[in-house]
Amino acid sequence: MRTVLAVLIAAVAAVAFALWFQTLDGYVVAVFPPYRFQLSSQLLVLLALLFLFVGYGVLRVVARIVGTPGAVRQWRERRRLQQALDALETAVVGWALGKPKMSFKALDRAYRLKHGAAAAAAAACEAALAVRDEVRAENALARIPDSGDWLAIRQVLEARFGLVFRRIDRLEAALTALERGGKVAPTVRERLRLEAGTQLERWEMALEAARKLRRHDALPAPEFLAVAVKAYPALLTDALRRERTFDAWWESQPKDERQLPEIVAAVIRTLRSEGEPAQALRLADTFLRRRYAAEVVAALLPSLSVEPAWLDRLERWLGDNENDPVLHEALLRLTLGLQLWGKAKGHYAQLLQLDPVRARVVAAETLLPTERLALPWDRASNATFPVSHSTENAAGAGASVSEEGQPASQPPAAEAAADTESEPNPTARKP
């Protein structure tokens, strides 16, 4: 539609100009002594139009001739830019195809072309760090500009260089510079501090960085737990060696972290290894009063005291966790220690179904050493455990086995012991 209107307007203008041009009947006299010129008005208009178009064409030609060197320079710049982009693309393709030499060669070519030289140097440094090529990484770092935003990028790569090649001095200097600079996002800086603390086993710095990343939603919960489970034992050991009380140290930790069973289990194991079993039992008792966690019970097993209070506490969680082998193992060890043979038989049968390997390990540790193949409840009722194959391969040396793979001295199955406890066993299965 625009084209039609433009053509229509041009036609109307041409007709109007032709009609006006026909009405011109005057003349123009130009005097240049001793010369005199007389021109009609129509010829003068035509000459003026001709001069306008010719002058415009001459000026365009002169401008093009004068601007030729600049145009050539721009064309060369565009060609170099395209070559640099092609080189960067080749570097990416080579890296994706697992050809680092191809990538390094393309990045060197892009750096020499000067277009995107800083980006090429940064990419070359990243690639060199990935393949642990210290010489290439050092050369690429030297090529990155130390001004503007590239300074912050250079500091980040400097910190990663210190991490990869264990240059502690350069790592600490880069982290300090990043904290002062402020141009890098906090998550990037804290991620570097987390990696540095983990690799250098500076767990206080690692845990602090993990907490900040968690507040920014930049660290998944499993990764945070992995760091915390390693950091808490180290920090607790250091606090105990500095004669700081466990209660004061534990209360200084964030409340939400004190509710995580993985962290509580790690702290319990550390307390046991540091010779503080009473503190471990108290911490587990406090935690298990609020909720049940298999991790806490598993960490508590080696130092679990044989007391009726612990039996009552763990049996409270049996209804909701009847298929938890750790809970049945703890209850089995407690009932054996308290000589509650009926309950012990039920928990052993349940544990044998849930985790046969764990059941045989418990049998080897607690049952067999007492009287070879005779179980504790056998001495009380002259009856054996209903599952006749439960002690096979559990004792190791000293257990005589019959040709059918059953214990040779084990009599047929019988009912529960007569002189144990009066209440029914909640976990025992009827034959």
Contact 207, 178 (CB under 8 A): no
pLDDT of residue 409: 34
Phi, psi of 338 (to 5 degrees): -90, 0
Residue 37: in which H helix or E strand, if any?
Answer: strand 35-40
pLDDT of residue 62: 92
pLDDT of residue 214: 92
pTM as predicted? 0.65
Contact 369, 391 (CB under 8 A): no
Neighbouring-strand partners of residue 29: 38
CA distance 360 to 355: 9
CB atoms within 10 A of CB 230: 16
Peptide bond into 34 cis (omega under 30): yes
pLDDT of residue 367: 60
pLDDT of residue 375: 52
CA distance 431 to 156: 68
Residue 36: in which H helix or E strand, if any?
Answer: strand 35-40
CA distance 145 to 154: 8
pLDDT of residue 229: 94
pLDDT of residue 260: 92
CA distance 109 to 289: 67
Contact 79, 111 (CB under 8 A): no
Q: Which amino acid is at 324?
A: D
Helices (H), 355-396: 356-362, 368-371, 376-381
- The radius of gyration computed from the CA coordinates of the chain, to the nearest angstrom, equals 44
CB burial of residue 330 (10 Å; 0-12, 13-18, 19+): buried
Q: Could you list the pLDDT tens digit for every one of the 431 residues in the chain?
A: 788 888 888 888 878 877 777 777 777 777 888 888 777 777 777 888 899 999 999 999 999 899 899 889 998 888 888 888 888 888 888 888 888 888 888 888 888 887 788 888 889 898 998 889 999 899 988 888 888 888 888 989 999 999 999 888 888 888 888 888 767 888 888 999 999 999 888 999 999 999 999 999 999 999 999 999 999 999 999 998 888 889 899 999 999 999 999 999 999 999 989 888 888 888 988 898 888 888 888 888 887 778 888 888 888 888 888 888 998 888 888 888 888 888 888 888 888 899 888 888 887 777 644 443 345 554 444 434 433 333 333 333 333 333 333 333 333 333 333 333 334 444 433 33
If you write DSSP's letter for every residue of 145-206 in order, what string do you get? -SSTHHHHHHHHHHHHHHHHTT-HHHHHHHHHHHHHH--S-HHHHHHHHHHHHHHTT-HHHH
pLDDT of residue 388: 33
Contact 142, 174 (CB under 8 A): no
Contact 212, 186 (CB under 8 A): yes
